């Protein structure tokens, strides 16, 4: 028995949870069937903290000191600390306030998981499935809406917040609404094609599997597949978050993180994993089979092209001119997104309707990014002709536009002691963002290739990068949705354009449409 479980979990060598409670997953306090968690001490089943929080209350009530003269060793250890999610089979410790990965020496946690799986696959679950179907139908009726006189259903699925994971949820929902990117992953073959006794069962991670068996691409694929299947309950990206913890140490823990930083790490690691083989199939061969991602659209980063660079990849030309001798230096840099400063003259403009001066627009931010700039004393350029650092000017040109243009507005800036947020409202177009004037050779690009339409927006609510909350707006089949963790609501264009955007995803326009340009 591991020392951790000796300290946190009272156990019996032949422990299995009570089938009477677990077979129906009916919660003992609120009688709900949402988010059931089983206590590994007494096998009682309660709802999770994102429903009514009765599982946590069960643990807290067990911590009340006993008034008896002397507690037995069994009573001391029976603190109802560890519980298991009956849906995903993950284990959580309330004392540590963290998920548990390790098992006991006798594999008791694994035995509980197997017991739960056997219950779920048994004939006794038929009644539960029937009841769930009735609940889904009644829930579906509440999510019907009128569109053009006909009744339709909201098919979007929310993402459960696992503890300050709104930054991840907002990015995942945005990427799931970039059709070409999302479809590529959903069409990939599964990593593990299970059969026989394991068919249809959920997967879960244990420490014995080791770090080498996790696949970010596979868990990302599973998450995207789950988001638009019309499920009426929020999907828990727990397995994906587990992989994120494994391969991205910066995002371990449950503190708030920067959504843009997470997006860059996610795309970079997807790109790296896609460069190798996947379930016996070369990623490059899959990419070549997709006719919509032609070679001319590929942007190589780190030596190879993947769907990440084929869709998000563009190329910048960086021109530096020495002000002393006039020597010009040119360098081409690939990019997956552009980070734009909000011009200082607009920093105090916090809302669109504020009367103090003009409204900052996305064009102002793009112009500030591409305008000629004189480098200050701290950024002197090493001129190879002068053989010394000299004053110089710098200018960016876009040499190649990506299929999906990701624009990041720099809302967080470091001061002497802390990181402040620039809360300026930036006006952005829903359609017809024209990028032609920022191209190095605009004459080589057709008019439609320079027009972009908005697909998704990530918004940060709050005052600081380490606090606040992230949500996302995205369009799907002509309708706009607002994604706020597990809650998904229909919204309209007027609401979207009023948002204080943090990250904007623009998709290259494929067909002509009458719209205004930026």
Q: Active-site positions? A: 166, 469
E strands present in 369-432 = 373-374, 381-383, 388-390, 392-400, 404-409, 412-414, 419-421, 426-427
Count CB-CB contacts under 10 A for residue 415.
Answer: 7
β 419-421/328-335 pair status: unpaired
Q: Element (H or E) spanning 93, and its range? A: strand 91-93
Beta-sheet pairing, 150-153 with 144-147:
antiparallel
Residue 377 has phi, psi (to 5 degrees) of: -65, -25
* Nearest residue to 290 via CA among 390, 425, 187: 187
Please say whether the beta carbons of 438 and 370 come within 8 A: yes
Cβ atoms of 489 and 508 within 8 Å: the answer is no
Spatial CB neighbours of 233, under 8 Å, sequence gap ≥ 6 = 34, 157
- The gap from C-alpha 92 to its chain's centroid, in whole angstroms, comes to 22
How far is it, in rounded angstroms, from Cα 40 to Cα 33? 19
φ/ψ of residue 197, rounded to 5: -70, -25
Put the strands of the sheet holding 82-85 in their side by side order: 45-47, 36-39, 82-85, 91-93, 98-100
Q: With contact defined as beta carbons under 8 Å apart, do 337 and 299 qualify?
A: no
Quickly tell me which residue has 């402040």 as its tokens: 420
Strand-pairing partners, residue 99, are: 92
| Closest to 427 measured CA to CA, from 350, 498, 334 | 498
Question: What value, to the nearest 5°, has the Cα angle with vertex 447 and ends 443 and 449?
Answer: 95
CB 217 within 8 A of CB 270: yes
DSSP string, 50-73: TTT-HHHHHHHHHTSPP-SSS--H
Q: How far apart are the C-alpha atoms of 61 and 455, rounded to whole Å?
A: 47
Alpha-carbon distances of 295 from 288, 306, 468, rounded to whole Å: 8, 11, 41
Beta strands in 219-326 (DSSP E): 277-278, 281-282, 314-322
Distance, CA of 88 to CA of 113 (rounded, Å)? 9
CA distance 49 to 378: 51
Residue 451 in contact with residue 443, Cβ under 8 Å? no
């Amino acid at each position: 028995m591991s020392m951790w479980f000796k300290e946190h979990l009272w156990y019996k060598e032949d422990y299995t949870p009570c089938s009477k409670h677990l077979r129906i997953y009916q919660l003992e306090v609120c009688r709900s069937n949402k988010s059931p968690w089983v206590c590994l001490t007494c096998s009682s089943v309660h709802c999770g903290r994102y429903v009514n929080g009765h599982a946590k209350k069960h643990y807290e009530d067990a911590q009340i000191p006993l008034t008896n003269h002397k507690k037995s060793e069994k009573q001391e250890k029976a603190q109802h600390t560890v519980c298991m999610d009956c849906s995903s089979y993950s284990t959580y410790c309330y004392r540590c306030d963290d998920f548990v990965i390790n098992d006991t020496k006798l594999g008791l946690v694994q035995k509980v998981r197997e017991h739960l799986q056997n219950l779920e696959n048994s004939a006794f679950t038929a009644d539960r499935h029937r009841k769930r179907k009735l609940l889904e139908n009644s829930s579906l009726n509440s999510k019907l809406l009128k569109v053009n006189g006909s009744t339709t259903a909201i098919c979007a699925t929310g993402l459960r917040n696992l503890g300050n994971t709104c930054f991840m949820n907002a990015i995942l929902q945005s990427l799931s609404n970039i059709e070409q990117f999302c479809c590529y992953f959903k069409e990939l073959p599964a990593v593990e094609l299970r059969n026989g006794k394991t068919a249809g069962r959920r997967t879960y991670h244990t420490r014995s599997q080791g770090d080498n068996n996790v696949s970010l691409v596979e868990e990302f694929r599973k998450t995207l597949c789950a988001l638009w299947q019309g499920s009426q309950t929020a999907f828990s990206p727990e397995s994906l978050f587990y992989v994120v913890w494994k391969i991205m140490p910066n995002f371990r823990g449950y503190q708030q993180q920067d959504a843009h930083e997470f997006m860059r790490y996610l795309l970079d690691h997807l790109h790296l994993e896609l460069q190798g083989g996947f379930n016996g199939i070369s990623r490059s061969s899959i990419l070549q089979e997709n006719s919509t991602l032609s070679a001319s659209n590929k942007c190589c980063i780190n030596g190879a092209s993947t769907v990440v660079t084929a869709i998000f990849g563009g190329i910048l030309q960086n021109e530096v001119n020495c002000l002393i001798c006039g020597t010009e230096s040119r360098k081409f840099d690939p990019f997956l997104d552009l980070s734009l400063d909000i011009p200082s003259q607009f920093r105090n403009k916090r809302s669109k309707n504020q009367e103090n001066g003009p409204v900052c627009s996305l064009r102002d931010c793009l112009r500030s990014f591409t305008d000629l700039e004189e480098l200050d004393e701290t950024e002197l350029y090493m001129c190879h002709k002068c053989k010394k650092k000299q004053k110089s000017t710098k200018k960016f040109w876009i040499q190649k536009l990506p299929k999906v243009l990701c624009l990041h507005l720099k809302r967080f800036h470091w001061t002497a002691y802390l990181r402040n947020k620039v809360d300026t409202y930036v006006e952005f177009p829903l359609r017809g963002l024209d990028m032609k004037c920022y191209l190095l050779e605009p004459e080589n690009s057709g008019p439609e290739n320079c027009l972009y339409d908005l697909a998704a927006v990530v918004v940060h609510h709050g005052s600081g990068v380490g606090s606040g909350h992230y949500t996302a707006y995205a369009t799907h089949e002509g309708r706009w949705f607002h994604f706020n963790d597990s809650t998904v609501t229909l919204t309209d264009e007027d609401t979207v354009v009023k948002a204080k955007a943090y990250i904007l995803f623009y998709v290259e326009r494929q067909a002509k449409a009458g719209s205004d340009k930026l």
